[in-house]
Structures are given as C-alpha cells and as structure tokens.
Amino acid sequence: MDYQYLLSINVFLVFVIVTFAQPSVNVYPCQYGDYGINFSNTTHLSNFRLVDNSTVASEQTFASVCYDEEYLNIQTTNFDDNIYSPFTDCNDDLYKADAFEVFLAYGSNQPEFYLEIELSPMGVLFVSKIYNPGDACSTISGTLIDCGQSGIIYNATVYDQFNTWVGTLRIPLELIYQTSSSSSSEGSSQPLTPSTLRFNMFRIDVPLNSPMQFACWNPTDANPPCFHIPSAFGYMNFQ
C-alpha cells in the first residue's frame, strides 16, 4: 500500500474541509426606490450567536447587504434594551460599548490583511487596516484610517420606543481592495465588482442588568472573546 499517497489524499481532504467549512452567502445589486436603497429587498443575515458559539445572542442583529458599482452597502438593525455608547470621535474605542462591526477582505483566500469597521449607535465610526498573520487576537496590528478620508458614508439612528438602533454603512469597494494587501495599492484599481469577499459581522452589546455580550454572524468559537480570527470569515459571493 502506498502510504505516502494516502497521506497526500488525507492532507488534500483536510485542506478542502477547512477551505469550504465556512458559510457562504450571495449578494446582489441594490435596488432603489423613492428614498434610496430598498434594503427590504436584499440579502439578509441574522441569527447572531455568542462568540464562543454557546447560544444565540439575547438581543439580535439583522444585517441587509447589497452592492453597486462603487459601494458595498450594509444596513444593520440592532435590538437593544440598553443603548449605550459614550464615544464621540472618529476611531475612539467603540468596542468598549454598544457597536456593530464588520471585517472585510478582497478575494476568497484566508486573509492576513483586512478592513475593520465599527459603528456606534450614536453614529461614530472606527476604521482600521488590520494585519493578522497568526489568525488570533494576539497577533493583530492595526493602522487607523481617518474616517473622513475613508470614503465611507455612514449614519445611525436610535429608536428608543422600539429598543432598537439602525446603522447604515456604504463602504467603498476600492477601500476594501486597498486594505487587503501588504501595500497601500495606491494608483491601482480593483475590478468593478469583486467576485468574492471574505467577511464576518459582529455585535457588542451591553444588555440591561446583564454582562456585556460579544456576538458573531459566524462564531469564532473563541473563549475569551476574540473577533479577529480570519479562518472564521465567511464568503460573500457577488452575483
């Protein structure tokens, strides 16, 4: 029996399983109505779970996603009985209070470089280019990007009567492209639309009379909590 051959087959199978184990979603061009993007007719992501995958988050997040020639567009509806964020300035430590986060990388490979975006219920933005060669929170370093220079169009609105806040992000595809490599990629341009992005979405929540919760669209299975695990990024396929 050729044990070397069997070993190579096993290695290949492990590679296939790891490569395709993460969830995949299809996103489509945005449709527009009288008031802008019709987010009701887009790809919807929900059922966020705690970061360690132990259970569903007690206060859920619903994200709607579509794209156009320039932007990846995300609207996030966040149920929250204790909406709280004291931060007011670009690139403040938004992760220390209520926030929605999305990590994005160009292409289908597991990224070492990716874009981190955070949005608070008060409409404050955090933007950073992340380098993470070790697939762990202990190996990350970040380069902050000025919110005004990022090209991201963003807003957030609190609806206290419904215990909800809604955020909108219009993220330039060019920004995702430029932050997905070791260089700045200045002067180069991405295809009009990518075929695939790697991504994950997150929610930090401070429920009333409960400990802070860290939730993920695709849980990283990390304990203590860690969002920065690119091997857990799903696939976003542009149709």
Per-residue pLDDT of the chain (239 residues; tens, 9 = 90+): 443 433 343 433 333 444 458 999 999 999 998 889 999 999 999 999 999 999 999 999 999 999 999 999 999 999 999 999 999 999 999 999 999 999 999 999 999 999 999 999 999 999 999 999 999 999 999 999 999 999 999 999 999 999 999 999 999 999 999 999 876 544 455 555 789 999 999 999 998 888 999 999 999 999 999 999 999 999 999 99
- Record the tokens describing residue 134, joined without a space: 């070790």
Specify the pTM: 0.88
Any domain includes 4? no
The contacts of residue 235 (CB under 8 Å, 6+ apart) are 22, 23, 24, 25, 108, 196, 197, 198, 199
Any domain includes 121? yes
Q: How many folded domains does the chain comprise?
A: 1
Any domain includes 41? yes
Domain that holds residue 210: 25-238
Any domain includes 5? no
CA dist., res. 53 & res. 65, Å (int): 23
- Record the tokens describing residue 156, joined without a space: 């957030």
CATH number of the domain encompassing residue 151: 2.60.40.1190
CA dist., res. 84 & res. 120, Å (int): 9
